[in-house]
Structure 1
């Protein structure tokens, strides 16, 4: 049984907010600080342009909140954070990672929003023996994770977590759709494989998921017309960033809202996209590993502090960015007086439970979190439109 309470109550926990805000006032750290003697260089690779820019902004806000509330230090050491743009992933992410390593001489790389970016840099960080702490999509294609860790999720787990709920709740076939790239294949594949194996049926005319071009799709109406004529009793999708805004708005425009229930990976309504979607998102049900109304000690401190600083409730991207700093702080503290890339990596592997705003989690053998997943519904929480936890679905991780 999960404990949750309205976001309004959680964000009104003044004592916790005051404690963190006081710590923040002592910090002179920012992403642009010059290097101090003996500081550790950290590369922060996030989307600063392209369809996932808003995700990158949220990752940075979470990361920076940790630094602001810990005197600009990780594990007692001053850090210089050098940012780089992964843009749309693939080659741009690889070029940015090379610059961080070759020119900026960073000891660790953290960040990324897309699975494509991780796929692009996996060989580089492994060959250079540089720990990479990922904060976004984690592709299923990784084989050597010796130097690769994630504070986020395995991309296939999102769909796996909700598949049985959809199968037992929806009376009829489900139409499945997502973007044509590695992150889409994993997110949608996790749902479809689990759903079909348990006896679920797809409404797609060929019995296979529909794929939309990545990253260029802005007009979803041709695909939505196919959904209308398919006889689907529900839709499951994976979209994020600007594509999530377009899909949800056009879902309503096509007359599907209120007639065919829309389910999705939580990124569909997560972060700033929810405000952009407005009332079109009301009633959408999603699966994710965080919601701002989770009631645990870490979130009772984190959520009010984030609200106080940014005048909005936190989202999962803020949490994975925050947790990346939290993980590195613990590892650096355990890596000795003069931490190196290899000693930090070894220390990450020895960490126990991480006391995160999403609840305690720990790294599994795959170097990703073992963590609970929640069913959420977009509705008014008494204060604003929000992703409100409805129930605990399952715990996944390996």
Structure 2
């Protein structure tokens, strides 16, 4: 699918307006250079499916917007961060300095976001994360050029901490990758869970064999296991968990069983629980259209990575429209982004003082649909219109 509004159509529109005697400002807008968006979407390695969801969600948004943002033609430059901070910085700097992108959008993993944060924001370019949400950027590290359409990393994990607490699980084991988002997940879970943590296991971000960790779980026999293993890590863990005969120990997670991983996990994931901002089954008109058109276009069930990226396209469209297509006035564009005047697939959506969403959070579980496909389905609302716990630490610097 093309994500570029043709220059020929723009020039033709300008000529038509000029001969019809319509106002010159409209002609100037039609001839304006396209809005350029650098879309950072992981496309390499075992976690590439997450980046594919992100990319396709944003592309569907652009398709629904006829490849325009705020009335201006738009171009999207795809950037594969390779899950390597050095590669991400090099490619993003090129997009800023050579391609002159007007905004950078995307990012799956928090270590990549941390790497590109300074080069993007110090160039006074807006950075919109559609997935990664490390807690430092929600608190003291908040930035006038940074917004997130996703969440703070801790929040989805806090949902599962509350679920474990409410279920009366007295002894829980934790299993997460050893990087910022993994540590955030533990902090989020512990913020709501008051029982006994039997063990905390931290693994390399590239680990695919969990036999040693599963043996420790089998020996300890906890009341439940909480884990955060995104992408290919989650695929292997879920399969190995079932194969190890541990399915009788409740499997609580976030970003481990979702639509990016479920096609590979299949029946092994049925009934496993997750904390989330969004599911394909949330009952609102915008979400129904998004899920229907996404499946028709890409032939798979979207995950939250896609939903948050779709919302980012709609957010940019609304903001650029509010400024009349003027991207030079950074203060006006910032205010327009913060207004969040668009219809989210999540329903209610607003930005807090730290530029992170104020939104609902859900407990969901994996189910198989009548057509054989797998998806997460919302079970109950855990947090209603909640602000993340770090917003109070944010003292937004002038910019």
How would you bin the TM-score normalised by the shorter chain? 0.7 to 0.9
Pick the aligned partner of 1:255 from 245, 255, 258. Answer: 245
CA distance in 2, matches of 1:87, 1:324: 22
Counterpart Cα distance in 2 of 1:392 and 1:97: 37
- Whether contact under 8 Å (1:49, 1:85) holds in the other structure is yes
1:254 offset after TM fit, Å? Answer: 1.2
How far apart are 1:380 and its partner, in Å? 2.4
Counterpart CA distance in 2 for 1:34 and 1:179 is: 46
Q: How does 1:130-209 map to 2 (within 5 A)?
A: 130-142=125-137, 143-195=141-193, 199-204=194-199, 209=200
Secondary structure at the residue paired with 2:135? coil
Which SS does the other structure have where 2:287 is aligned?
A: helix
Residue matched to 1:30: 3
Match for residue 339 of structure 2?
351
CA contact (8 A) 2:89 2:116 kept: yes
Q: Does 1:314 align with 2:302?
A: yes
Distance 1:182 1:122 in 2: 15
How far apart, CA to CA, are the structure 1 residues paired with 2:108 and 2:49?
A: 10
Distance in 1, matches of 2:332 and 2:108, equals: 22
TM-score (norm 2): 0.86
- Give the CA deviation at 1:144: 3.2
Q: Secondary structure at the match of 2:246?
A: coil
Runs (5+) with no aligned partner, structure 2: 11-30, 389-399
2:265 maps to which of 252, 277, 282: 277
Q: Which secondary structure state, in structure 1, belongs to the residue aligned with residue 77 of structure 2?
A: strand
CA–CA distance in structure 2, aligned partners of residues 124 and 100 of structure 1: 11
Instruction: Report the Cα offset of residue 152 of structure 1.
Output: 0.8
Identify the match of residue 210 of structure 2 among 192, 203, 220. Answer: 220
Measure the CA separation in 2 of the matches of 1:282 and 1:31. 40
Instruction: Spell out structure 1 runs of 4+ moving beyond 4 A.
Output: 31-37
Contact conserved, 1:47 with 1:88, CA < 8 A, in 2? yes
SS at match of 2:361: strand
Q: Shift of the alpha carbon at 1:373? A: 0.9
* Residues 179, 239 of structure 1: 8 Å contact kept: yes
CA distance in 2, matches of 1:154, 1:80: 29
* Alpha-carbon displacement from aligned partner over 1:139-191 (angstroms, at most 9, x marks no partner): 11221321010111110111112212211204320111100111111122211
* Deviation of the 1:31 alpha carbon: 6.0
> 1:39 corresponds to which residue?
34
Cα separation, partners in 2 of 1:349 and 1:324, compared to 1, 3 Å: closer
Q: 1:164 to 1:173 in 2, by over 3 A?
A: same
Once the two structures are superposed, residues 233-273 of structure 1 have per-residue CA deviations (whole angstroms, 9 ceiling, x without a partner) of 1000001111010110010111101x2010001x1111231
> Structure 1: any 5+ residue segments left out of the alignment?
1-27
Question: 306-315 or 167-176, which moves further after superposition?
Answer: 306-315
Preserved contact between residue 232 and residue 261 of structure 2 (Cα < 8 Å): yes
- What residue number does 1:360 align with? 348
- Correspondence for 2:21: none
Flag the 1:344–1:217 CA change in 2: closer, same or farther, 3 A: farther
Q: Say whether residues 1:211 and 2:229 are aligned partners.
A: no
Q: Secondary structure at the match of 2:381?
A: strand
Q: Residue 393 of structure 1: which of 377, 382, 392 is its match?
A: 382
Alignment of 1:75-154 (within 5 A): 75-142=70-137, 143-154=141-152
CA drift of 1:313 comes to 2.6
User: Aligned-residue CA RMSD in angstroms?
Assistant: 2.0
**C-alpha contact 1:361 1:371 (8 A) present in aligned 2:** yes
Partners of 1:59 and 1:31 lie apart in 2 by 18
**What does 1:292-303 align with in structure 2 at a 5 Å threshold?**
292-303=280-291
- Secondary structure of residue in 1 paired with 2:339: coil
Q: How many residues align?
A: 361
Alpha-carbon distance in 2 for matches of 1:168, 1:146? 38
Q: Residue deviations 1:64-95, cap 9 Å, x none?
A: 11111221101111011111111114222212
* Alpha-carbon contact 1:130-1:341 (below 8 Å) kept: no
Give the whole-Å Cα distance in 2 for the aligned partners of 1:32 and 1:85.
22
Q: 1:51 to 1:72 in 2, by over 3 A?
A: same
Deviating more after overlay: 342-351 vs 31-40? 31-40
The 1:191–1:46 alpha-carbon spacing in structure 2 relative to 1, beyond 3 Å, is same
Asked whether the 8 Å contact 1:157–1:190 carries over to 2, the reply is: yes
1:14 is aligned to none
Structure 1 residue 353, shift from structure 2 partner:
5.0
